[in-house]
Structure 1
């Protein structure tokens, strides 16, 4: 959809828009969206509900060699579909149809030469398997006159302190940022605008506390987020295991290697096939030593809870303890993964994903609520998800961009490319908008989306 309005601070387009993470950050900076497009009807409905624009459409029909329905703009933002590059997909890159959507995006760049281009994708795009695809994106942008780093920015919201719009979520994402620079001003191969080594104002990622900084909702019961009886059984059993081990090991921290109940045998009885990979051989050996040391307690515990019965599938007979000195499993944040139960301290949480494995918040004895998940992405509490199923909300948030990170990336980008931006009216407008904005978008977004009273 295309929208026209009074002269804004800058104009932007929102490609592969999802529910509008880019829209939130860029509109909070004072920009006006001229065009948005999203092929998923449910995400598009949420976008329309909140932003007043219907983005339903297909970019391959709006931007190709014969048609250009995308209007002129100053900033092009695109959350390129991640499945061709994601570890959860087939990783075929540009051999897959969705990977070729970059070329529809490039057609828009060729037609309108936006002042700034912001491309977001999963961390895997910067991995060795997709070096070819990344180089194609960088090379084609340079051919169109853009200053762009050989190495993309890789960043996560948990690195930013709350005052800068950070959130307690490890969500490493790739950002390719480019500035139109046909005159070749300054460095043509700049450094990336952000890295995972960046730190701010003395803030450390381990300083996060979910209850305080997210914050967690006080309710222990949220519709659609409750644990099943089987899930509670598994957690209760391993919670007792954790407490037993703290007592028996006299305060010594639980092992950091995966604890596999199925691998518990006496060391003298351990038989490992010669073809077993080294990593598995090490884990089997460590579990045998652990079992031998604590056999009496472990046998009694396993019998009490029926660990080796059908009540515990193989994936629930394994605990990955990453919670350091946390006293109880119920005090941790858990992921019920296909590979086992992973527990960590309740500081930051793993990345929201568009499939399953929503984090279990032990102190609340339930999964993250949709509203808590929305906060992890920087969306205000007034953002309206309508009456859609919880699963649809999780999917949309798992596919989205983190607003605080977009805010930070744009600010870092204009600061890096200030020498180019100040040479054009469009660039100066973008600079003025970013320079005049607060350190974080949170208050602005809360004002844009007041909570219904």
Structure 2
């Protein structure tokens, strides 16, 4: 169905709400605006209608839970690279995939993987060597998944294909694919990869996978519509070996989101960062869902310093979250001035277990290291429930489970090889 984009005024008229309401939803990050060639904001009418149904209690029922299937499909084997604290790996495992190998160079994160694997009886083989020292020859798996860090490519956009990526960590992902030859490869990164080097970096990655013998497509998935109580977007690359008839499938967004109130209900107590007395006095003045703009001007000027005079909304500064909406994207430090993540009603940063809940880690998943290490592991993770939905699409593509209405098939991208 063709998307219908309308102006603020037209959207307000169609939904019988004020234009200011539409603008407020946009400011809160619940809906996104695009710009036409004249810079005028346009909104996807279908997305606004979905949000209105949710806020009116008319959308599909939602409740917070860590999604998990009753049993794994032992033949559906997976390798997980740059595994971090295990968000994607646990999501894939909960979906039904069995991991034969995980690689994570950070010692604290690798310890988190090992400890939880033992406690949860996952049987994970965790390797904390530098991935550049790992040979994948002889390894067998139907799926390779990697949340590779995005680095600038020295030759990105020069149509050198596989050679373009040498010296980057994406190359290690590509090398693993070349040596293992999995049926499906899943790459994950931040949304910003779309714009990196004017899109040439992503184009180089896609051309590399094509050169290795894989059909590819990609999509930005919005976690807030996939059972995650957080406005977090991830770019997912789905690659299928060309000698197979496996479809490329992505999760279809739900007609609901999960609020912070639902997510943090009965959350266990835990350690967490605290504000210095002076900062706490400032944050005490910020209402639920508010930010520095809600402070008295003299206090805002002192708190913001030079940032007060810079452009942009700066709404992450002195930001208190709202009970009725998903959390903003979690960072590696909830007390960081530029990206504040203050509890909705208590004047303190979100604590460790609250952070983990918002990333949909189960309460029994423990993180190794000090407080800063734990925040960093959780903040960098892919939400577990997002991993689950991707994992179910992978299993359906491989034919292990039936494809459902929650999955959308897309065609492979026709790549431009001019100059190759």
Q: TM-score, normalised by structure 2?
A: 0.64
Say if 2:129 is the partner of 1:72: no
Aligned residues: 314
Determine the structure 1 residue equivalent to 2:261.
211
Per-residue CA distance 1:279-310 (angstroms, 9 max, x = gap):
xxxxxxxxxxxxxxxxxxx6xx84xxx6666x
Partner of 2:35: none
Instruction: Verify the 8 A CA contact 1:352 1:358 in the aligned structure 2.
Output: no
1:148, CA displacement in angstroms? 1.1
Q: Cα 1:235–1:40, aligned 2, differ >3 Å: closer, same or farther?
A: same
Structure 2 contact 89–387 (Cα < 8 Å) conserved: no
- The runs of 5 or more residues in structure 2 that have no matched partner are 1-71, 119-124, 157-164, 407-420
Deviation at 1:60, TM superposition (A): 0.8
Q: Are the equivalent residues in 1 in contact too, given 2:321–2:344 (CA < 8 A)?
A: no
Q: Which residue of 2 aligns with 1:353?
A: 331
1:227 Cα deviation from its structure 2 partner: 2.5
Alpha carbons of 1:383 and 1:349: their partners in 2 closer, same or farther (altered >3 Å)? same
Deviation at 1:69, TM superposition (A): 5.2
The 8 Å contact of residues 62 and 70 in structure 1, kept in 2 or not, is answered as no
* 1:138 aligns to 2:216 (yes or no): no
Residue from 115, 126, 132 that aligns with 1:60: 132
Once residues 229 and 82 of structure 2 are traced to their aligned partners in structure 1, the CA distance between those partners, rounded to angstroms, is 25
* 8 Å contact kept, 1:81–1:98: no
Contact 2:222 2:232 in 1 (8 A): yes
User: Residues of 1 paired with 2:380 and 2:326: CA distance?
Assistant: 19
**Residues of 2 paired with 1:143 and 1:209: CA distance?**
43
More helix by share: 1
Structure 1 CA distance for aligned equivalents of residues 354 and 330 of structure 2? 11
Does 1:377 pair with 2:359? yes
Correspondence for 1:341 among 302, 318, 327: 318
Query: How far has the Cα of 1:404 moved from its partner?
Result: 1.1
Post-superposition CA distance 1:124-150 (Å, at most 9, x none):
11125352221122112222222212x
Counterpart CA distance in 2 for 1:313 and 1:98 is 42
Alignment map for 1:200-279 (pairs within 5 Å): 200=254, 202-203=255-256, 205=257, 208-215=258-265, 217=267, 223-238=271-286, 259=293
Give the structure-1-normalised TM-score. 0.60
Check the 8 A contact 2:263/2:358 in 1, yes or no: no
Matched, 1:180 2:162: no
Rg comparison, structure with higher value:
1
**Residue 391 of structure 1 corresponds to which residue in structure 2?**
372
Q: Deviations over 1:241-288 (max 9, x none)?
A: x9xxxxxxxxxxx9x9x8498xxxxxxxxxxxxxxxxxxxxxxxxxxx
Q: Tell me the alpha carbon deviations over residues 29-76 of structure 1, each in whole angstroms, 9 at most, x when there is no partner.
A: 33222111111111111111112443211111114xxxx456111110
| Conserved 8 A contact 1:27-1:33 | yes
Partner Cα separation in structure 1 for residue 301 and residue 403 of structure 2: 62
Instruction: Verify the 8 A CA contact 2:95 2:391 in the aligned structure 1.
Output: no
Q: Partner of 1:404 in structure 2?
A: 385
Q: 1:343 to 1:360 in 2, by over 3 A?
A: closer
CA offset at residue 360 of structure 1?
0.5
CA 1:105–1:223: 2 relative to 1, 3 Å: closer
Q: Does 1:314 align with 2:305?
A: yes
Distance 2:193 2:363 in 1: 31
**Paired residue secondary structure (1:362):** coil
Listed as ranges, the gaps of 5+ residues in structure 1 are 1-5, 85-91, 161-165, 243-253, 262-297, 323-334, 419-426, 440-453
Cα distance between partner residues in 1 of 2:138 and 2:154: 23
- Assess, with a 3 A threshold, how the Cα gap between structure 1 residues 217 and 28 changes in structure 2: closer, same or farther: closer
Partner of 2:193: 125
Aligned to 1:19: 85
Q: How far does the alpha carbon of each residue in 1:378-403 deviate from its partner, in whole angstroms, 9 at most, with x for none? A: 211011224x2111111011111111
Instruction: Determine which of 35, 38, 43 is the counterpart of 2:104.
Output: 38
The alpha carbon displacement at 1:412 in A equals: 3.6
